[in-house]
Structure 1
């Protein structure tokens, strides 16, 4: 056994024996987590196992809400390729499990799919889960590299894969620190279906065999076109009392110092275009009050998005602070131009294609490390505009408000970037299908 893998399991066993007993006691006393606690150590009830029918049996692990959506896109492609397959989707958190169950019920794979809680990466739990669920393939999404899962699955003759694989510039620094453990783990993976060529190169640096790696794009973006609904746009226009062709500057997922930068930019825009409305959505809703302070200091009229839900309240202000969760993508539909945050500060950017899919010209700053694949797609079509700082953002925003026909043209190129990327989910699914031949 590799020394680093032995150390990983030695420490993991110690943590498990220390933390699990009090967690189990807490669950027994409070009644919380009773459904999940046994599954987290690899024990699944017969009532759940009996629901898994069909062949081949493919287990996909997802953690975040975003990964669950990606998993479902790939699972739908798997069901199209192999209609009799049994799909197992595992999640880590209670919230993720509830979200996954809801999405499965609404999907085309609801009859094929069983949703379970993922076991912790403790060697005994991994062995128990794998021997109980008996998958033909274990597929981990994006950055879900769990040593015991993958090594034990390989030892048991189960095919393994990393699909929609992503290794960022930031994350590889951490992986390199545990390189011997990564090499031991990755040699147990049969296929690596990565998002970008740079992801493929990084996973190879971590020890993945080069002949098992391929590049197939980001399945996340396959979902976007399905989420574009013209009724959403009309609903938003009514909500915000917008007339046709009302110019709107939308700033989404704003973080930290960008709050002040966006207010500065808007101040410059309204000097030549006083009719422009600013809609600003912080990445974290609790920052809404800080944005309120900045807007009030400049003397702009403003309202919170939640104010518009109150009786006899309608939009009258020039600045709308979006203090809700889950409406950002729909709100992009009514923008004239969009700035996506986390990019003028060194935080890796946000998903710029969520705005591009609506046919909007998309601005972003120099920090796009976490969404380089999306940036590359917009760069290829010319649908994105990268700016160095707030000053350049203001200059280019004013230019596009001066020339709305050019903004519309850039927006069409932005949507083209999304359309051209369709099909990645099927490519990742085909990687799994080939493992069975």
Structure 2
């Protein structure tokens, strides 16, 4: 998906233009002219981005299965949407998420609304295949769909069919035409669990279009005071509410009702266990030596990607490994006689249940550009969490280290002594476990704050 990333980064780098203003008499006239021209220019480049993005998807789809899914999922999408809603007479609540992580953030709010207002039609849309493909059978929704690509005509057509009464967008989704038309139609739109930093385009001199997009939201629920303070500098204050991060509520719900996996329990027995989730090659290369020379320690590796080539790479690194799909089919006698200490998870969807079996958790992604994956899924079980050095963009990863429940390492030289200490120093281990559990528990409650605001403003009765 490298072309995706390139195009998206290119889109975020809105072209910068300089203009000269020479006298007070000319300043106001020239300023208005520049503002109008700049806005049109931004829209021109935005539309160009939309075109380039779709073209890039078509090119990448020749060899990339995710890109093919992106295209396939949008074939005849308006006809399918119309068929699903043609007889609907219930008010539609629409939640849009970019991908799976954002879906998990929105899920506590969505399910609470579903429980309290079962008469509403609940719609979920995704932009990315990594969200839609894994949650297309989501039972709490009446309909799960891909979101058609943004554009003036697409947005109008989509909204004419759906006619939502309340729209909830999660964290980082800022599609201009959808949001503009929702604003014009006076449909309340909430942005949930948003984060803002001064280096983002909203706060730059060239960010007028981005600031315009923020004005389309009725309420912006941010995760922290820093985000609220940043928005205040560009004139957004009255509609900004510090609610926290709804992911804390979601992971707490999962941990309070964990799904048991008997095959995992049978594999680890009573042995100390390191669960490594969402791993990339750099993460596996950091862990394989420790696994190979510590046969009494069990390892569960859940890679970020599970295509065959990646699974073979992991098998080559971990000398005593077996795939989960094979382990499930082995007889009890075969399992007892085996010498496996590493279990490779070759399916998607189990990770949040795996961390409950960890003595120590390792979360991957911390050696890549995008940074560490979701550390909260691991920390909620009250176990120490280890990850790589790229975590500065994730407040929860920073705070987990600050409170003593998380550890960042830069090499195998740091990883192995830390693993030894966590597995042998009982007092140190107990302290880190309490820190991790206390951190997650203390941050829960964002969903209630958002729901209270929804009910206070009577957004579900309009």
Counterparts of 1:141 and 1:255, CA distance in 2: 26
- The residue matched to 1:45 in structure 2 has which SS? helix
Cα distance change, pair 279–117 in 1 and its aligned pair in 2 (3 A): closer
2 CA distance for matches of 1:367 and 1:65? Answer: 21
2:241 aligned to which of 205, 214, 221: 214
Deviation at 1:400, TM superposition (A): 1.8
Distance 1:433-1:132 versus aligned 2 partners, 3 A rule: farther
Deviations 1:12-50 (A, max 9, x none): 79779999xxxxxxxxxxxx989954545x994265143
- Equivalent in 382, 385, 389 of residue 366 of structure 1: 389
CA change 1:264–1:13 in 2 (3 A) is closer
Q: Give, in whole Å, the separation in 1 of the partners of 2:324 and 2:419.
A: 23
Distance 2:386 2:54 in 1: 50
Matches within 5 A, 1:96-175: 96-97=131-132, 99-103=134-138, 105=139, 107=140, 113-167=142-196, 172=200
- Displacement of 1:303 in angstroms is 2.7
Partner Cα distance (2:374, 2:128) in 1 = 23
Q: Secondary structure at 2:191's aligned position in 1?
A: strand
1:63 aligns with 2:98: yes
Q: Could you tell me whether the CA contact under 8 Å between 2:47 and 2:151 is conserved in 1?
A: no
TM-score (norm 2): 0.74
* Structure 2 unpaired stretches of 5+: 1-35, 57-69
The residue that corresponds to 1:53 in the other structure is: 90
Residue in 2 that maps onto 1:232: 260
Match of 1:7 among 44, 49, 57: 44
SS of alignment partner, residue 348 of structure 1 = coil
Whole-Å separation in 2 of the counterparts to 1:364 and 1:395: 14
What displacement does 1:435 show?
A: 4.7
In the superposition, the TM-score normalised over structure 1's length comes to 0.77
- With over 3 angstroms needed to count, the CA separation of the structure-2 counterparts of 1:86 and 1:294, relative to structure 1, is closer
Distance 1:351 1:94 in 2: 18
Equivalent residue runs for 1:326-337 within 5 Å: 326-337=349-360
After TM superposition, give the deviation of residue 163 of structure 1 in Å: 1.3
- Equivalent residue of 2:394, what SS? helix
Q: What secondary structure sits across from 2:238 in the alignment?
A: helix
Instruction: Tell me the C-alpha RMSD between the 2 structures.
Output: 3.7
What per-residue deviation string (whole Å, max 9, x for no partner) do you get for residues 211-251 of structure 1? 3222212212322233235561554212x1x333x112333
Query: Structure 2 vs 1, CA of residues 331 and 91 (structure 1 numbering), >3 Å: closer, same or farther?
Result: closer
- Alpha-carbon shift at residue 117 of structure 1 (Å): 4.4
**Alignment correspondent of 1:398:** 420
Check if 1:243 corresponds to 2:287: no
For 1:179, the equivalent position in structure 2 comes to: 207
Aligned residues: 403
| In 2, Cα distance between equivalents of 1:34 and 1:399 | 49
Verify: 1:278 aligned to 2:296, yes or no: no
Partner of 1:196: 224
Shift of 1:84: 5.4
Higher relative contact order (CA 8 A, sep 6+): 1
- Match of 1:252, SS? strand
Query: For the structure 1 residues 400 and 69, does the alpha-carbon distance in structure 2 shift closer, same or farther, using more than 3 Å as the test?
Result: closer
- How far 1:208 moved relative to its partner? 6.3
Which range moves more in the overlay, 151-160 or 405-414? 405-414
Q: Sort the Cα spacing of 1:12 and 1:414 in 2 relative to 1 into closer, same or farther, 3 A.
A: closer
Structure 1 residue 167, shift from structure 2 partner: 4.8
Determine helix, strand or coil for the equivalent of 1:89: strand
Partner SS state of residue 137, structure 2: helix
1:123: how far off?
0.9
